[in-house]
Every structure is written in structure tokens, then in C-alpha cells.
Amino acid sequence: MSDQKPASVLVFDVNETLLDITTLTPLFGRVFGDEAVLREWFAQLVLYSQALTLSQRYLPFGELGIGTLKMLADIHQVTLDESDIDELKSRMANMPAHPDVAPALERLTQAGFRLVTLTNSPAGASPTPLEKAGISDSFEQHFSVDTVKQFKPAPDTYRYVADQLGIELEDICMVACHVWDTIGAQAAGCKGALVTRPHNAVLPASNVPVPDYVADELMALAEQIIAANAA
């Protein structure tokens, strides 16, 4: 944990950090015969979102998710029906919040932190996935990279949030379960808080910033942030 003064604004990643993507596993089990392909799909989705940003190209995250699903169908030589694509859209729009999310958000709000979200997914019509999950009102504002047409961890995505809130990057702590997100945020000048949900961990390598806060559960991470602020 860093001994620096903690940030006053907590910016939360959405997919997998707040919302449980494992509810997509039945689709991958049925189509590919292996629910573990969910992780392959999500990793490829993140990889190609970043490849597009580096190549100065963009398309909405949902469209890229469908394209990635089709790509994996070709790789695994399985037949993909239109109904499978419809199911992916439906499941992505109805992911529940992890059980530790609502209590942690309430605890942080009571402690005086400002809470917002920043997601790679585009803003959608109401009810949004966060509204359906029952946690949307816990946040002051919701931001999407769709506005800047770059995916996280591009620096402009974090700068956009700071500019919109009228704060400095050092006032922000990025809360995510993906270390690539905390790396990007810290490189931009924010702090980073990593919740190590299954399949996620700190990257132990030279010149890779260690997150300021690390815990395997969101309430424990919240308590670390609150304790640092009190100190």
C-alpha cells in the first residue's frame, strides 16, 4: 500500500469489477462445450480493444464482443447461430452485481468518498446494466470511454473523467479487478486499487506499478482505502 495521501474520488471499473461476468458461462458451455472459453473470449476482447486503440481505431465494446465471439467460433470450429449472439447481448445486459459490491459502496459513501464509474462499454438506454443490478444510484456519475473513442488503459480515458469532474488526476483512485486498468490509471497520474477477483492478480514485473491497495474482496479493499484516508 502507498503511503501517499489517498484520492478523494474513487472511479470504478464495471465489467467483472462490479458486475459478475460468470453469468455468461452457460452460453460458452453450450456453444463451445467448455465454460472456460468465457475467459478466452474476455481476454481476447480486452486484447483487441487495446489493439484498436493503439491503431487509432474504434468500435463500441459490445460490437467488438460479438466480433470476438465470432472469431472464437472460427478458431474452435463451432457453428454460431444468431440466437447465440442474442443470448450474449441479453446476458451482458443483465449481469448481477457481485455480493460484496453494495455493502462496500455504502461503506465508502458513508466515509465521504465520491464514487463514479468508468467503463469500456458505451452508455445505453435505461434501464442500464447497473440499474438492473441495483447499484446505479450508489454513484455520482457514470462515464464511458465511448466519448473519447479510446479504450482503457489509454491515458485520455482517465483524463476525461478528471476533466469532467473538475479535479486533478492525483485526486482519482481507479478501482478495478484488472491490473491493466490500474497500470493505466497509475501511469496517467491516478492511484490504483486492485480487487483480485478469480483469474486476476498483481503483475510482479519490473517497471510495472504495484497498485496502492490490493485485496481479494471489495469490502476489504474499501477498508484499506478508508484507513489510509484516516491516517
For residue 2, pLDDT over 90 is answered with no
Q: What is the pLDDT of residues 190-206, one digit of tens each?
A: 999 999 999 999 999 99
Q: Which CATH number fits domain 21-93: 3.40.50.10800, 1.10.150.240, 3.40.630.30, 2.40.50.140?
A: 1.10.150.240
Q: What is the CA radius of gyration of the chain?
A: 17
110-169 per-position pLDDT tens digit: 999 999 999 999 988 889 999 999 999 999 999 999 999 999 999 999 999 999 999 999
pLDDT for position 125: 83
Query: What is the pLDDT at residue 124?
Result: 82
Q: Is the dihedral of CA 54, 60, 61, 66 positive or negative?
A: negative
For the record, the C-alpha cell of 54 comes out as 493503439
Share of the chain above pLDDT 90, in %: 94
pLDDT in tens, 216-231: 999 999 999 999 988 7
Length of the chain: 231
The candidate with the shortest Cα–Cα distance to 100, out of 129, 133, 123, is 133
Domain 9-20+95-230, CATH? 3.40.50.1000
pLDDT at 1: 42
Report the mean per-residue pLDDT for the chain: 96
Q: H or E element: which one contains 62?
A: helix 61-76
| Residue of 83, 87, 67, 85 lying closest to 75 (CA atoms) | 67
Q: What are the pLDDT digits (tens) for 91-102?
A: 999 999 999 999
Residue 44 pLDDT > 60: yes
- One-letter amino acid identity for 98? H
Q: Which band of pLDDT confidence, cut at 50, 70 and 90, is reported for residue 54?
A: very high
Q: Where are the domains of the chain?
A: 9-20+95-230, 21-93
Starting at the earlier edge strand, list the strands of the sheet with 191-195: 141-144, 114-119, 9-12, 172-176, 191-195, 213-215
Count CB neighbours of 5 within 10 A. 12
pLDDT value of position 5: 60
Query: Mind listing the pLDDT tens digit for each residue in 6-38?
Result: 689 999 999 999 999 999 999 999 999 999 999
